[in-house]
Structure 1
Amino acid sequence: MADPDLVDWLRFTAVPGVGPRRQLALLRAFGEPARALGASEAELREILPSGVLPAWLTAAASPPQLDATLAWLDAPGAAIVTLGEQAYPQRLLDLPDPPVLLYLKGRAELLGRPMLGVVGSRGATPQGLANAGAFAEAMSASGLGIVSGLAAGIDAAAHEGGLAGAGSTIAVVGTGLDRVYPASNRALAHRIAEAGLIVSEFALGTPPKAEHFPRRNRLIAALSHGVLVVEAALGSGSLITAKQAVELGREVFAIPGSIHSPQARGCHRLIKDGAKLVESADDVLDELDWQARLAPPVRPVPAAAVPESDASVLDALGHDPADLDTLVVRSGLTVERLCAILLGLELTGRVAALPGGRYQRLA
């Protein structure tokens, strides 16, 4: 039998055009969803615009997806946390418009763990993906949960890193939890639902829409003790998350990159505006005063010896992408010999081939 209180919360949040701010206003006026749902049209008119009233009276009486949501809650790991429950994450109350409901899939207890947001570009460079994964894994090993948005690129790499450590990971999404967006992250989403947590403020059946992702980003910022931006172009949504983090009093960190890379310009802008430049996970942990809670240090695995010829090509490549002609000039090698060495470096994971015939050093 369905919990009548939860049904009231679902009905209360089901009305199109009545978002978190108006829902909070209704709760302040009536105290609980049941009283707001039973309020007269005259009482509601003082809070809701006249254009929204017909939708409220109709949808609140018989909300869409109600039966589907109640059935979904029978699945392992599925839960809904309301604003009135003790389990609701208190850090979200720093928002002017905290969501009234949170849909959860996975380990709900992770919401009580200190967290670091890790965000960045969808079109990340190989080095950016490696940085996101390495930083996230180090943070997770220290006990910090990793929060990101399940997008392609940096988000996905951050989630992978989070899953590798004890802190695990939380994915905040911009759809209903019965959908995975992007579809390319479906397998990752299932792994997070098993070992981490997926969170949404959107009802089941909600599709991905552009206006949902800034709302998702504000939850990432609010849940986090700090936000690390790994790579971001100047127009990246990650900069919105960083701005929201600053407004909420959270720390913002940024990894610098090549002055020639468009994907580094957003991080450089953040650093100019006061974000903390970081070069290692310890930089973040020290700033968050996390030392007292660090896990025992893990001994690094010694790197395999690099043949002299390979090392000379890595030196010639440096840490910015370069094309074959540039590398021929820098290394003094023939094209044939250079291509053979680059292929070997690719196979050992030290170099990645980029579009346009360029190469990027990874180690």
Structure 2
Amino acid sequence: MDISNIVLAALHESEGIGWKTIERIMHHGGIRSEMLHYRAKDWEACGVGVETAHHLEHNFMLTVESVTNRMSDDDTNEPRQQCSSASNLTNDQKIRIITALDTLYPQRLHSSSQPPWVLYAIGDLQLMEMPSIAMVGTRLPTAYGKKVAAVLAEELAEAGFAVVSGMARGIDSVVHDAVLARDGRTIAVLGGGIDVVYPPENRSLYEDIADKGLILSEYPPGTKVRPGFFPRRNRIIAALALGTVVVEADARSGSLITADMALEAGRDVFSVPGQVTSPKSRGTLDLIKQGAKMVTCGADIIEEYEIWLPKGIKDSYNKERQEDHFAAGENAGLTNDELEIYHRLEQGPGSLDDLLEQTRWDFGHLHSVLLSLIIKKQITQLPGAIYKII
């Protein structure tokens, strides 16, 4: 068992020790086995504050013992054994501890500006080294955003990329679900402890990713979700991927933080355009203005990373095929007028009066188009003459 991994993991889990404190310790000679016997003055000499140094003198070995009990060494290249387990996880889905000193630590994170010192993982660790694309967006997407996110995620998965997101409500969940439905590979980076499912309604999705993909967090098991954790989580999402795709985002969306962190990490940023009148498209349209590559189909992303594609995949993925993918969904075969109403409702439910004003059609024609869409099971009517996509 490599003692340096244990010491680093124990420091990471110690009270009062944050990313910058560990950075100072690294600059004062790095992680050493002698730290197991350090007194307060020794910790202070490494750049640790007085109060924290005294806490470490009395409590560090307890943390070391806890970490040691959750890590084992088997003289092979197999991942670290179980550290702890979230409820309902099988024996093959145990939490593993990976430190920045570990050979299992993903290389792309090493090259980022603030790589996490410790990662907790559940699932297939090989996914960390796969070519991957991050996909993020609003927690309250429109029907248009959901559809585009799902199609792009499916195309990326079929092309052989792992898709990284944050398992949040909205676009994140749509992305993970779409990849899993295609038997693809997906990575969820959490904003809380590795065994803390958030949002709670994503329990089933969490278990599916643990079984078929990879779950990562830099927070120890049991750490409750806090708002400030999500921006820090975003830097890991951005750094793990070759590029980040923003699907829908308003002007102050957290997804834009991920885009900024992708640029900071030297990664590409892609943006999906939306209607200029939609608040959910303001952030993505601003990204395009600032130089992000506009995405209208999966090939717009895939063509940037052809070198990563398995042999034979390149020729089978072209723009024509992927553009057809958007048109070949459940709304294929609709008339032009039906498509116009469908695309308007993709931005959110609309009233009969709203649609009359937007289209400038006469009442009889609009009513017949809406009735046809209802019969074709594309939309449904809500109380108050409100229409929405099914």
Query: TM-score if structure 2 supplies the norm length?
Result: 0.81
> 2-side partners of 1:339 and 1:31: how far apart?
68
Counterpart check, 1:341 vs 2:372: yes
Q: Which residue of the partner structure matches residue 109 of structure 1?
A: 126
Question: 1:126, 1:64 → 2: CA distance?
Answer: 49
Following the alignment from structure 2 to structure 1, what is the Cα–Cα distance between the partners of residues 340 and 374? 16
Q: Which amino acid aligns with 1:214?
A: P
Tell me which amino acid in the other structure corresponds to 1:286. Answer: E
Q: Match for residue 191 of structure 2?
A: 174
Which residue in the other structure is 1:231 paired with?
248
Report deviation, 1:95: 2.7
Asked if 2 retains the 8 angstrom alpha-carbon contact of 1:285 and 1:291, the reply is no
The answer to whether the 8 Å contact 2:122/2:215 transfers is yes
**Aligned counterpart, 1:39:** 38
In the TM superposition, residue 219 of structure 1 has moved relative to its aligned partner by 0.2
The 1:340/1:214 distance shift into structure 2, 3 A limit, reads same
Report the Cα distance in structure 2 between the residues aligned to 1:129 and 1:145, rounded to whole angstroms: 19
Q: Deviations over 1:187-208 (max 9, x none)?
A: 0010000000000110011000
Does structure 2 retain, via aligned residues, the 8 Å contact 1:230–1:255?
Answer: yes
Partner of 2:52: 52
Return 352-361 or 263-272, whichever deviates more: 352-361
The answer as to whether partners of 1:114 and 1:224 remain within 8 angstroms in 2 is yes
* Contact kept? 1:117, 1:147, Cα under 8 Å: yes
Q: 1:332 aligns with which of 343, 346, 362?
A: 362
1:191 aligned partner, one-letter code: D
- Which runs of structure 2 are paired with 1:87-106 in the superposition (5 Å)? 87-106=104-123
1:98 Cα deviation from its structure 2 partner: 1.6
Q: Distance in 2 between matches of 1:105 and 1:355?
A: 45
Asked whether the 8 Å contact 1:9–1:33 carries over to 2, the reply is no
Q: Using the TM superposition, name which of 243-252 and 58-67 deviates more.
A: 58-67
Select the residue among 351, 354, 377 that pairs with 1:323: 351
Counterpart among 93, 102, 121 of residue 77 in structure 1: 93
Instruction: Give distance in 1, aligned partners of 2:228 and 2:253.
Output: 14
Q: Is the contact made by 2:165 and 2:175 (CA closer than 8 Å) also made in structure 1?
A: yes
The DSSP-based 3-state class of the residue aligned with 2:251 is coil
Cα distance, 1:163 vs. partner? 1.9
2:338 match? 313
Instruction: Measure how far apart 1:40 and its partner are.
Output: 3.4
Q: For 1:112-140, what per-residue CA distance to the aligned partner results, in whole angstroms no more than 9, with x for missing partners? A: 10110000000111110111111011001
Structure 2 match to 1:158? 175
Structure 1's unaligned 5+ residue stretches are: none
Q: Provide closer, same or farther for how the CA distance between residues 104 and 318 of structure 1 changes in structure 2, counting only shifts above 3 A.
A: closer
2:12 aligned with 1:13: yes
18-27 or 113-122: bigger deviation: 18-27
Q: Kindly provide the amino acid, as one letter, of the partner of residue 77 in structure 1.
A: Q
Identity %: 32
Q: TM-score, normalised by structure 1?
A: 0.86
Match for residue 289 of structure 1 among 289, 306, 319 = 306
Matches of 1:161 and 1:38, distance apart in 2: 50
Shift of 1:26: 1.7
Q: CA deviation at 1:158?
A: 1.0
Deviations 1:51-93 (CA, angstroms, capped at 9, x unpaired): 3223333442323993795652694232221211211001111
Aligned residues: 356
Q: Are 2:275 and 1:258 equivalent residues in the alignment?
A: yes
| Whole-angstrom distance in 2 between the partners of 1:35 and 1:29 | 13
Out of 69-78 and 222-231, give the one that drifted further. 69-78
Cα 1:356–1:132 shift into 2, 3 Å: farther
2:145 equivalent among 105, 128, 146: 128
Contact 1:172 1:219 (8 Å CA) reproduced: yes
CA distance in 2: counterparts of 1:51 and 1:356, whole angstroms: 63
Match runs of 1:242-281 below 5 Å: 242-281=259-298
Check whether the contact 1:170–1:199 (CA below 8 A) recurs between aligned residues. Answer: yes
Give how far 1:8 is off.
3.4
- Rate the CA distance shift 1:65–1:134 in 2: closer, same or farther, 3 A: farther
8 Å Cα contact 1:314-1:361 kept in structure 2: no
Q: Distance in 2 between matches of 1:224 and 1:328?
A: 44
Task: Give the direction of change, closer, same or farther, for the CA distance of 1:33–1:117 in structure 2 (3 Å limit).
Answer: farther
The one-letter code of the counterpart of 2:339 is: L
* Alignment gaps of 5+ in structure 2: 71-81
Judging changes above 3 Å, is the alpha-carbon distance between structure 1 residues 318 and 200 closer, same or farther for their aligned structure 2 residues?
A: closer
**Would the aligned equivalents of 2:141 and 2:248 in 1 still touch at CA under 8 Å?**
yes
What is the Cα-based RMSD across aligned positions, in Å? 3.1
Q: Distance in 1 between matches of 2:147 and 2:380?
A: 11
2:77 corresponds in structure 1 to: none
Say whether the 8 Å CA contact 2:247–2:272 is kept in structure 1. Answer: yes
Does structure 2 retain, via aligned residues, the 8 Å contact 1:116–1:225?
A: yes
